Structures are given as C-alpha cells and as structure tokens.
Amino acid sequence: MIAFALSCILLLFACGVAAIFLPRRHATALTYGASAILSAGLLTVGLAQIAATAVDVALPLGPPGLACSFHLDALAASFLCLVNLGGLGASLFGIGYGRHAAEPRRVLPFFPAFLAAMNLVVLAADTYSFLFSWELMSLTSWALVMSDHRARETAPAGFLYLLMASGGTLVLLLAFGMLSAAASGTGFAAIAAHPFTPGLAAAVLLLALLGTGSKAGLFPLHAWLPLAHPAAPSHVSALMSGVMTKVAIYAFLRIAFTLLGPPAWWWSIPVLVLGGITAVLGVLYALMETDLKRILACSTIENVGIIFLAVGLALAFKANGEPAAAALALTAGVLHAFNHMLFKSTLFFGAGSVAHATGTRDIERLGGLIQRMPRTGLAFLAASLAISALPPFNGFVSEWLLFQSILISPHLERMGMKLLVPAVGVLLALAAALAAACFLRAFAIPFLGRPRSDAAATAVEADRWSTGTMLAGAALCLLIGLLPGFVIDGLRPVTALLTGGRMPVQASDSWLSIVPISASRSSYNGLVIAIFLLAAGSLTAFLVHRFASRGIRRAPAWGCGFPQGGAETQYSATGLAQPLRRVFGALIFAARSEVRLPPPGDTSAAVLQRHSRDPAWAFLYAPLGRAVQATVETLNRLQFLTIRSYVSLVFGTLVLLLIALAIRG
C-alpha cells in the first residue's frame, strides 16, 4: 500500500515536470486531471490504511549513509485522507478555473509538486525526509504564491512568506536536531522509543509549537498568512488554507503525541492559551477586512486556533491520565481540521469564482450575486452556515464535541488548569459567535442586496467544473453534519494511537446519534434535527400556501417610505462591522474613526477616517524590524574602518578567544 502511495507521489512530481512540456492547449486539463486521479488514488490508500496495521518502507535516497524512511500509520493515513480530499477538490476546481489563468505555466508545474510535497510530509518517518519534504512544501507553495507576480501586493507577501517559512523550518530543524542528537538516530521510531529528559522534551515542544505554529498561522506568527494565501490563485489558496495548515497541525500532533513520550501537565498551557487567543483574534481580523479572500484567510487563523485548543485539551487529559477524555478532545480537533478543510476549500472556490466573474475581490463593490450566480451562491451559503457552526452542518458537530470535552475538564487536577479551561471556553464561545457575524457579512454583502458596481450587475455563473466542485464540497459539509458518527468512528484508530483511548462506537447508536460519553449526559443527532427542520419548514409553507394565501407581488422596497436611493445607500461591509469594531476593536486594535467636516461655507466633502493598529505588528514585528535596522546601522560602521583598526580588531578577538580558552581549559 505504501509503495502505491509513494509511486502516486512520484507520479505527481512527474506531472509537474511534464506540465512544462505539454502543449499549451491541453496542459491545464491534463495536469489538473492527472492530479485529480492521483489524489483520488492517495485518498483510497488513506481510507484503506486508517484502520490497518502500520507499514514502513525505506528508500536509499537520503544523505550518505542514511535511508529515507516512510511510515504509514493511522495518524498518517487520516491526514492522507484530509490532504488528498482537499487536493482532489482543488484539482477538479482547477480544471475549470485554471483555464482563466493569465500565465498557466507559472502555476501548472508547481501545483502537483505542492500536492506531492504535502503528501510526503505526512508519510515521512525520519528527520531528514521530514524536513526535506517540509521545505519542499514551503518552496512550491511560495512559487504558487508568486505566480501572479505582476500584482503589486504579491512581492511583499511572497517575501514575508519566505521569511516566515524559513524561520519556521529553522526552528523545526533545531527541534529535530535536539531529538536526533539525544536519541542518537534520525528515525522517528528510534526517537519515539527514547526517553527524553523533561527539560529537553519541554524545549522541543515549545520549538515545535513555534515551528508548526508559524506554518499553521498561530498568533502572533500568523502575519504572513492573510497576505500570502489570497495572493495565490483561488484553488491554491484553498489548498494552502484548507490543507497546508492541517499538515502543520499533523506535524505538531506527530511531535507532541508520538515522538516526545508522556506529556507533562503544563504542556497544554501554552497550546491552550495561544489557541484561544488565535481563535478570537483571527475572527476579529476577518471582521475588519473587506477583501473576500483575506476574510477567508483570517478565518483560517481562527479555525487553526480552535484546532490547537482541542489539541491542547487532549494533551491536558493525556497528562492527567484520562485517555477516554483525551480521545474525545482529539477527535474534536481532528474532525474540525477535516471539516475546516471542506468548508474553507468550498469558500475559497466560491471567492475565486466571484473574483473571476466580477474582476474584484472587494466585497464593497459586489452585491446581489446570488441572482446571477445561483449555484456559487448556494454553495457559499451552505459553507458559510457550516463554518459558523450552525446545525445541521458539520462545523457544529466538531465545535459541539469540543464544548463537550471542555465540560468534562473539571476532572483536571491542577488548579492552573481549572482556572484556564473555563477562560478558554469563553474564548471559544466568543470565537464561534463572532464567526457567525463574520460569515453573515462575507456571504450577505457580496451575494445579497443590490449590485454595488456594474461588474457585479453583469456577472455570469462559473463553469460546470467549478460549480460542480463547490456544490459537492457543500454537500459533503451537510453529509458529515448529518452523519458524523461514521467519521468519528473512522478516527478511533488515530486517537488510540495518540492517546491510548477511544471514543465509544457511534455507528451502532439508534438513529445514528452521536453520544460522546453517555446518553444521559449528552447526545446530538444532526439527521433528526435536519428532518425536523425540513418537515417544520415545508409543512408550514405548504399549509400557509394551501389554506391562507399564495399571492405575491413585486414592488419597490418600502424602506420606511424613503424612496430607494442608489445601491450605495445599502449598508456596506465596513458599516455592518462598525458596532463590532467599536465594541471589540477599540481595546484590541485601538480602532477609532474620526469625521472631519469642512467649515461652514466650504463645499468640499467631509472625510471619515478609520485608524487601527494590529497588535502583532505593533508589538512584535515593528520593534523587531527596528532592532534589526538599528543593529545593522551600528554594524555598518565596521565596513568603513582603516586597515589599522581592522588589524587591532583581529588582534583583540584573538586575545579574547585565548583568554576564553585559558579559562575553560
């Protein structure tokens, strides 16, 4: 099985190379078609291997004297499913959407290579192959970000991404170096078998949190994400937001749960705190944006925060010796990762279709698109409901499981945890409520109301491949929401591997309910809720239309009797978020707005200015940049010294080193 998976990955690389030489007319369809088929193959491997015994393979490809080893266990198989379902969707969407690319050869070679690299990260089983594929994933995605190199904002986004990605890899290199040195072996099996000192394990955990967090978008390492993800073509944005962030979460799970051995009680604290802060800040960032793809990228930060929160809870339960509770929290986290891949990909596909149909991503210039792009609108609505954690969609199931695992955490013994977990619960509840507000805005402003520009008024529906992929994604969101028990059961081997515990089998419950702990404690049945919703809604509509009235008349909107003005009299996206900006933004972003009215008699326009401050930039990156600048300027003087001074510097250094040697010796 693993040989088949590796050959698929090799073929994906070959696809990338072939894309350079394919004739221009067929290159798009052939490359994306082949990627779709290979992703489907890898998806099958993942599904087949998730409950099977782990398999290993070693290839003589590593550095001299070392083999490149690959390992396919339940965790790898589950993320193989996630990566390749996302890859399959992006490839299918790309068949239609890729046709509009201005320079397809800047995308086509890197797209399959990016998919292959993400698959390799998941399968890698030694530090060398892991870091190699990790870096390959970063570089191929960087090339994809830079594909639209003529846009003004692409170059800074690409530069920042490259900087953060190399920093992240550097940190991971350090973490794996420490592990390999202590275990005197580079294989994951050797590392996992070696007991580490608490200090070393703690240092590696924090480094892993930094390294994988910078790729996943944990606050305050998220700064590149809202810039780089939207710069790529939309199906690549979907892959980066929906899938690559999950590969980073896979890496954290791999290090924290399998390589480092039993966790200490406080390990979960940084994970929970960062996760909670990231969840709330991510959605607040999204509420401030008006670029549709940037809204989606910021909401990815929020969801990554939620997943890390679940992972942190699982770590806490595992450290406290409660494998069943840890299994529940981990299931919530992995399920949310899976759900987020589904709805975020669908949303990015929708954003791509809208951007192509109207030529803009600024939601202030859109409106009423659901009437001209009905299928895109329907898929976007369903995915928005799902990401807002509303029943009967899948986002609600994973957040519900997470709430359930918070509710069993008074078991945790340490007082610190007892105080932290309720606070984290508030952050999670806030993030969920704000996400609903955010996606109401992201859906309603571009798709509902009246068109705010000519481009929006004359938009046409996307092609069949694109709409088909979006509707399939939305349907999967609903399907998992209706029948979550099967997915939860599918994750049982994963939780058994990572925590030693399993959730109860769900598929055997009557009516396919999900019962995380016991029936008297909590249960949820998306299917029955959906049937009730459908029955209540259609029954009422039928009765009203049959027995009361069915006449309908189209007339100008009433609007309290004011004559309807132009489309710009509608509420704007910025206006819609103004109360939230005032309530939450005043404190966190120092957001304020000022109105400058011209003096009486002056006929110039009044000006409304909004100011806000991003805490990550203001308190971390800007001081860091200033410090680098100041150091460079100071050191710059060294470049313009006389030969005499250089000689004395060399002499002084030599003396210092000799003294140091004398003291140590």
Q: What part of residues 574-633 is at the interface with other proteins (CB under 8 A)? A: 575-580, 582-584
- Candidates 16, 217, 368, 473; binder of other proteins (CB under 8 A) is 368
Is 350 a binder of other proteins (CB under 8 A)? no
**Quick one: which segment of 42-50, 387-395, 594-602, 612-620 binds other proteins (CB under 8 A)?**
387-395
d(CA 354, CA 363): 10
Q: Which of 219, 374, 353, 222 is nearest to 292 (CA)?
A: 353
Q: Which of 396, 378, 399 is nearest to 443 (CA)?
A: 378
Number of residues that bind other proteins (CB under 8 A): 91
- Candidates 65, 198, 199, 556; binder of other proteins (CB under 8 A) is 556
Q: Coil, helix or strand for 126?
A: strand
Least distance CB 355 / other proteins (angstroms): 21
Whose Cβ is closer to other proteins: residue 169's or residue 570's? 570
Whose Cβ is closer to other proteins: residue 20's or residue 535's? 535
Burial (CB < 10 A; 0-12, 13-18, 19+), residue 452, is buried
Is 339 a binder of other proteins (CB under 8 A)? no
d(CA 241, CA 345): 8
Is 529 a binder of other proteins (CB under 8 A)? yes
- Candidates 23, 551, 599, 600; binder of other proteins (CB under 8 A) is 551
Whose Cβ is closer to other proteins: residue 543's or residue 627's? 543
- Contact between residue 341 and residue 86 where contact means Cβ atoms under 8 Å apart: yes
Q: Taking the chain, what is the end-to-end CA distance rounded to the nearest angstrom?
A: 56
**Quick one: which segment of 213-221, 478-486, 573-581, 616-624 binds other proteins (CB under 8 A)?**
573-581
- Candidates 184, 508, 549, 609; binder of other proteins (CB under 8 A) is 549
Is 429 a binder of other proteins (CB under 8 A)? yes
User: DSSP per residue over 285-335, as a string?
Assistant: HHHH--BHHHHHHHHHHHHHHHHHHHHHHHHHHHHTT-HHHHHHHHHHHHH
Least distance CB 523 / other proteins (angstroms): 5
**Quick one: which segment of 148-156, 178-186, 553-561, 656-664 binds other proteins (CB under 8 A)?**
553-561
d(CA 209, CA 248): 10
β-partners of residue 55 are 72
Is 548 a binder of other proteins (CB under 8 A)? yes
Is 513 a binder of other proteins (CB under 8 A)? yes
- Candidates 20, 51, 155, 433; binder of other proteins (CB under 8 A) is 433
- Contact between residue 307 and residue 340 where contact means Cβ atoms under 8 Å apart: yes
- Candidates 25, 150, 152, 554; binder of other proteins (CB under 8 A) is 554
Is 449 a binder of other proteins (CB under 8 A)? yes
Whose Cβ is closer to other proteins: residue 22's or residue 421's? 421
d(CA 50, CA 577): 43
d(CA 428, CA 502): 24
d(CA 301, CA 303): 6
**Quick one: which segment of 16-24, 51-59, 308-316, 429-437 binds other proteins (CB under 8 A)?**
429-437
List phi, psi (to 5°) of 462: -70, 170
Q: Angle of helix 292-319 relative to helix 415-447, nearest 10 degrees? A: 160
d(CA 354, CA 15): 29
The secondary structure of residue 593, as a DSSP letter, is E
- Contact between residue 27 and residue 50 where contact means Cβ atoms under 8 Å apart: no
Using alpha carbons only, what angle is made at residue 293 by residues 287 and 298, rounded to the nearest 5 degrees? 45
Please report the sign of the dihedral spanned by the C-alpha atoms of residue 320, residue 325, residue 327, residue 330.
Answer: negative
Whose Cβ is closer to other proteins: residue 201's or residue 370's? 370
Whose Cβ is closer to other proteins: residue 408's or residue 591's? 408
Whose Cβ is closer to other proteins: residue 58's or residue 429's? 429
The number of C-alpha atoms within 13 Å of 630 and in the hemisphere containing its C-beta is 6
Is 389 a binder of other proteins (CB under 8 A)? yes
**Quick one: which segment of 105-113, 258-266, 522-530, 634-642 binds other proteins (CB under 8 A)?**
522-530
**Quick one: which segment of 87-95, 253-261, 347-355, 407-415 binds other proteins (CB under 8 A)?**
407-415
Whose Cβ is closer to other proteins: residue 554's or residue 664's? 554
Is 303 a binder of other proteins (CB under 8 A)? no
List phi, psi (to 5°) of 438: -65, -40
**Quick one: which segment of 50-58, 157-165, 324-332, 416-424 binds other proteins (CB under 8 A)?**
416-424
**Quick one: which segment of 122-130, 472-480, 551-559, 626-634 binds other proteins (CB under 8 A)?**
551-559
- The DSSP H or E segment spanning 69 is strand 68-72
Is 570 a binder of other proteins (CB under 8 A)? yes
Is 421 a binder of other proteins (CB under 8 A)? yes
